[in-house]
Amino acid sequence: MHGAVAGMSVDKTGMSGIITGKEAKMKRKWVVFAVVFALIAAGCCPFSKKPITQQPKTEQPVAAVEQSTASQQPTTPAEEPPTAKPTEVATAAKGGEIPPTRIPEEEPLKFEPSSFESVYFDFDKYNIRADQQNKLKTLFDYLKNNPKVSILIEGHCDERGTDEYNLVLGEQRALSTRNFLIALGISPKRLYTISYGEEKPADSEHNEEAWAKNRRCEFKIKQ
């Protein structure tokens, strides 16, 4: 019996050793848990991923942005100069041909009646008479002092001759008047022409006095 009891005592000692090892292991776990808990409480998670720091956006300088935007916008074509070029003046003075300025069909220009005196012509002629030149010089002075104003020169004829012939003659009278103003220095881009032939008489009588009034150029302006 004593031997058996002694054996049992040895077994208890072995069991005591095993229990002590488990307790030590449990203690280590509790220590780890305590450390982790302390880190979490302090705001540091040892298992979390490293936060990604976002680089601040670099703003483009305002001047560069405005310059870039301006370069993308369409450029406005330069306005035509209000005065004639030297070559145009020389051509007009010699009676040469300068391409007429057409009234745009898609956006008709609105011309208004003016108080400028009509210029009159001899029968079947389109040259500017000496006694009519001062009227055009007065018109020139006005256009020179008002560079944004354009004018429409209307060529007219008397009733003698065919409709076709008078339309051509009326155009020649308008272009001759235009050339006179260009020779003085007005830009051709400001001078529009049209021919009405015999369609719009100033005097509807059928005599020399009425015909003399109908051989003319009239002027309308656009501000």
Handedness of CA 111, 144, 187, 88 (dihedral sign): positive
Joined together, the tokens standing for residue 123 give 């029968």
Let me know if residue 37 belongs to a domain.
Answer: yes
Split into its structural domains, the chain has a count of: 2
User: Does residue 116 contact residue 219 with C-beta atoms inside 8 Å?
Assistant: yes
121 and 215 in a single domain? The answer is yes
90 and 200 in a single domain? The answer is yes
Return the CATH number at 144.
Answer: 3.30.1330.60
**pLDDT (tens place) for every residue of the chain, 223 residues total:** 444 444 444 444 444 444 455 565 666 665 555 655 555 555 555 444 445 555 555 555 554 444 544 444 444 445 667 888 898 899 988 888 888 887 777 666 789 999 999 999 999 999 999 999 999 999 999 999 999 999 999 999 999 999 999 999 999 999 999 999 999 999 999 999 999 999 999 999 999 999 999 999 999 999 8
93 and 201 in a single domain? The answer is yes
Which DSSP string do the residues of 155-208 spell out, in sequence order? EE--SSS-HHHHHHHHHHHHHHHHHHHHHHTB-GGGEEEEEEETSS-S----SH
Range(s) of the domain holding residue 121: 86-222
Let me know if residue 110 belongs to a domain.
Answer: yes
Residue that the structure tokens 């005097």 belong to:
203
Per-residue pLDDT, 57 = 57
Let me know if residue 78 belongs to a domain.
Answer: no
Let me know if residue 56 belongs to a domain.
Answer: no
Q: In whole angstroms, give the CA distance from residue 52 to residue 49.
A: 9
